[in-house]
A = this chain, B = another copy of it.
Amino acid sequence: MPRLVMKFGGTSVADLERIRNAAARVKREVEAGYDVAVVVSAMAGKTNELVSWVRQTSALFDAREYDAVVASGENVTSGLMALTLQEMGVPARSWQGWQVPVRTNSSHGAARILEIETDGLVRKFGEGLHAVIAGFQGISPEGRVTTLGRGGSDTSAVAFAAALGAERCDIYTDVDGVYTTDPRITRKARKLERVAYEEMLELASLGAKVLQTRSVELAMRYKVKLQVRSSFSDAPGTIVCDEEEIMESRVVSGVAHSRDEAKLTVIGVPDRPGIAAALFGPLAEAGVNVDMIVQNISADGRTDMTFSCPVDEVPRARAAIDKAKASGSLDYQGLDVDEDVAKVSIVGIGMRSQAGIAHRMFEALARDGVNIKVITTSEIKVSVLIDRKYMELAVQALHDAFELDKAS
């Protein structure tokens, strides 16, 4: 029988009523002839409660104990979901990470899945028993409970879909798909029928937080067809798949934004080899997530280095730069910090084969008087840093300019 993975996030299993609602969807797929592996998160709020207990107990906590505590939320939902399915006449049993087992490395709190041994699970499929899997968790080589980090249940779901050779992995959440842009910014935002893995990766990491980046990467590597859809409506969702499966040749698929960015310029650094390492090494060590990087033209043997990072990491960035200067490893003449910027990006696999897309973007922004501070480009994306107050305006202008409200 074909296999299907169905993943339900925290809001989709927030209480017994919602678990029943989710189970009814599982039942429908079982009746359609699938062997189903359901992957569940903890009930909404539970993981946060457990994390807060751990943090209150210990500031520098032992990550192995953190994992033992925090993984318990998924144990509860997997058992309750199995019971609910049984109650609806669907034979099912729960599987905790160590029972499958889901083998991970020992990076507690952010473990990587090494292997999923699906033999036991498949044998139970053969007996007509559907699987309910506690997401987010695994077992280390030392036999300790591990967790995969935030959003880890998506990763669990995709990994199971790959290991089981599932026809599809449906991610049930509280939004009904992936949109051309944030519907709160423009009502013209349109749900995408299909989106390529690469596009989804850019959209996710740029702030369209529907799927965790890691799960999309994993889906891309193993060609797992994903569907993002709502637990609360029957509307079809968005399929995330290989670009070859997308017939329409769209140039731009979506406009992403990230509101709370900061732009830092280190002024007058010596223009010599190794200077980038001298700056970005200490920043990486300090845990600053540097995003865009631009190096200006050199004059008098000195140059300016500009980079962006989340605005709440500015204090850490400042401290790291000061420390590098004090230690003599980095010489510079000034530091300019702009904490009032936002990032807006256009994303689309069609850009690869079509020239002039960046130009159309800059023109559209110029028409509305939006000044561009930094530009970076990749094969399938153009991002600009602008004053934060223009962010909504810029998103709307770009959505219009590329006619994203019209189905291609």
Contact = CB atoms under 8 A, between A and B. Distances in A.
Interface of A: 16, 19, 50, 53-54, 56-58, 61-62, 64-66, 68-69, 71-73, 75-76, 78-80, 82-84, 86-87, 93-94, 96, 98-99, 143-145
Which interface residue of A72, A73, A79, A86 has the most chain B CB atoms within 10 A?
A79
A278 to B, nearest CB: 37
Given A56-B16, A83-B54, A96-B145, A69 B65 contact: no
Task: Give how many copies assemble into the complex.
Answer: 2
B82 A62 contact: yes
B86 A76 contact: no
A121 to B, nearest CB: 12
A96 B68 CA distance: 9
A66 B86 contact: no
A361 to B, nearest CB: 50
Nearest to A67: B79
Contacts of A79: 54, 65-66, 68-69
Contacts of A16: 53, 56-57
A261 to B, nearest CB: 35
10 contacts: A54-B83, A57-B87, A58-B83, A62-B93, A65-B79, A65-B86, A68-B75, A68-B96, A69-B79, A96-B145
A157 B152 CA distance: 35
Nearest to A43: B53
Contacts of A71: 75
A314 B73 CA distance: 40
4 closest residue pairs by CB, A with B: A69-B79, A68-B79, A72-B72, A72-B75
A68 B78 contact: yes
Contacts of A83: 54, 57-58, 61-62, 65-66, 69
A50 B50 CA distance: 15
B82 A65 contact: yes
Contacts of A68: 75, 78-79, 82, 94, 96
Contacts of A94: 65, 68
A47 B135 CA distance: 22
A189 to B, nearest CB: 38
A210 B209 CA distance: 52
A61 B92 CA distance: 12
A314 B388 CA distance: 73
Contacts of A62: 82-83, 86, 93
Given A19-B57, A65-B94, A72-B73, 10 more contacts: A16-B53, A58-B83, A58-B86, A62-B83, A65-B86, A68-B78, A68-B79, A68-B96, A69-B75, A72-B75
